[in-house]
Amino acid sequence: MQRALLTGATGFLGSYVLENLLQAGMQVRCLVRDLERSETLQQPGVERFLGDLSDPQALGHAVRNVDLVIHLGGLMTALSSQTFEEINGAGTESLARACAEITSPPILIFVSSIAAAGTAIDGQTRSESDEVRPVSHYGRSKRSGELAAASFADRVPTTILRPPFVFGGGDRSGFYLFRPVKRFGIHPVPGMRHRRKMSLVHAKDLADAIMLVADRGTRVDARDATEESFRQGCYFVCDDATPRYSQLGDMIGKAMGKDHVVKLPVPDMIACTAGGMASVLARLRGRASVFSLDKVREGVAGSWICSADRIKQELGFKPAASLEQRIQETVDWYSERGWF
């Protein structure tokens, strides 16, 4: 029976990936920072391993005797760019180095983000071969992680995934996209022209793609660690649909049975001011917030659209349900559990 190490197992996406790994009959070692807060992972086939990405010694022990490492762990919010880099960049480097230092290195799957690549160039859908240009601290830290992982690809078979906006039942960050539509019938839209588009992927479809890539995906060429793009071993994973952000509000409203959703345009200047104030308050509290100036930078930068052509052609990936169905499933999940 194969063994896997999973970082980020207690997170939203981690629950979907863990379920897939167990269904595949794998023994799963989960890297956790707190045993008490990870009690939900106590189930057959799961081993909890105490450690984190800032502890090279713990990582060295965690990667022993595993065939596969799936790296989901990282920060989506932080109080500073330095903190982003320490976890998303240096933490990924430490994990890749730990894999490289053992006799039989495991396959390493690093789940990065479209933020590492940047927004669409001249409105064109992004592909893996496009030049990267991250616009946020988060995106730059994810790019650092990509390059760090790729630098060990001559010893560690490595594949990088770049999902766009990931949503699904259990997602607390994405919930704030659904709640205003449910409670007030409004959908705040960055910018005044409602033209910005976005790609999305449901967590279950992303988890399925991770399994495909682990099984037969191509691996990064270590020489690409000094290049602007990856010739192989890097995949965008998304639904084919690329709705405008304003249209997404209608799709969510329809799933909730609403006949009409009011799109509330938020000028970029107001969004940036609100994001800046939120970041200041977060620093005063000493706790990072989902809404921040860094997230606003991404929201006002343009369209976040990418193509899944490479993973479809090479691995036969296809979302198991349409975007509309996945949004309906997500709304139902939130409703059934009383989140609204």
pLDDT greater than 60 at residue 1: no
Q: Kindly indicate the confidence band of residue 34, based on its pLDDT and cuts at 50, 70 and 90.
A: confident
Domains along the chain with CATH numbers? 3-167+200-238+304-320 (3.40.50.720), 172-196+242-300 (no CATH)
Cα 91–Cα 120–Cα 110 angle in degrees, nearest 5: 25
Mapped onto helix, strand or coil, the DSSP state of residue 102 is coil
Strand, coil or helix: what is 5? strand
Element of type H or E holding 95:
helix 92-100
What SS3 state is found at 182?
A: helix
Check residues 208 and 275 and name the one with the higher pLDDT. 208
Buried residues in 318-337 as b, exposed as e (16+ CB within 10 A) = ebeeebeebbbbbbeebeee
| Residue 190's pLDDT band (cuts 50, 70, 90) | confident
Question: For residue 107, what pLDDT band results from cuts at 50, 70 and 90?
Answer: very high
pLDDT for position 120 = 93
Is 90 exceeded by the pLDDT of residue 230?
no
Strand partners, 262: 186
Tokens 């799109």 -> residue: 263
- Spatial separation of the C-alpha atoms in residues 171 and 11, rounded to whole Å: 9
pLDDT given at position 85: 96
Please check the confidence at residue 192 and state whether its pLDDT lies above 60. Answer: no
Average pLDDT, stretch 107-124? 94
What is the Cα–Cα distance from 205 to 315, expressed in whole angstroms? 14
Which of these, 218, 207, 211, lies nearest to 25 by C-alpha position?
A: 211
Q: What is the mean pLDDT of residues 193-219?
A: 93
C-alpha span between 301 and 27 (Å, rounded): 42
pTM exceeds 0.85 for this model = yes
Model confidence pLDDT, tens digit, residues 150-173: 999 999 999 999 999 999 999 998
List the Cα angle 157/162/167 in 5-degree steps: 130
Residue 293 confidence (pLDDT) above 70: yes
Q: Look at residue 145 and tell me whether its pLDDT is greater than 90.
A: yes
Beta carbons of 248 and 60 less than 8 angstroms apart: no
Confidence of residue 122 (pLDDT cuts 50, 70, 90): confident
For 217, the token pair is 């995906």
DSSP summary character for residue 89: I
What pLDDT was estimated at residue 6? 98
127 burial class (0-12, 13-18, 19+ CB within 10 angstroms)? Answer: middle
- Quickly state the pLDDT bin for 291 (edges 50, 70, 90): confident
Q: Is the pLDDT of residue 240 over 90?
A: yes
Q: What's the rounded Cα separation, in Å, for the pair 61 and 49?
A: 9
**Looking at residue 112, what is its pLDDT?**
98
| Contact call for residues 263 and 59 (beta carbons, < 8 A) | no
Whole-Å CA distances, 5 to 24, 28, 202:
14, 6, 22
Whole-angstrom distance, CA of residue 111 vs CA of residue 217: 14
Return mean pLDDT, the chain: 93
Per-residue pLDDT at 194: 62
CA distance 293 to 21: 36
Longest dimension (CA), the chain: 60
The pLDDT of 30-40, averaged and rounded, is 88
Tens of pLDDT along 42-98? 899 999 999 999 999 999 999 999 999 999 999 999 999 999 999 999 999 999 999
pLDDT score for 110? 98
> Where residue 336 falls among pLDDT bands split at 50, 70, 90?
very high
Task: Report whether 311 contacts 317 (CB < 8 A).
Answer: yes
Which range, of 62-66, 111-115, 277-281, averages the lowest pLDDT?
277-281
Arithmetic mean of pLDDT, 6-21 = 96
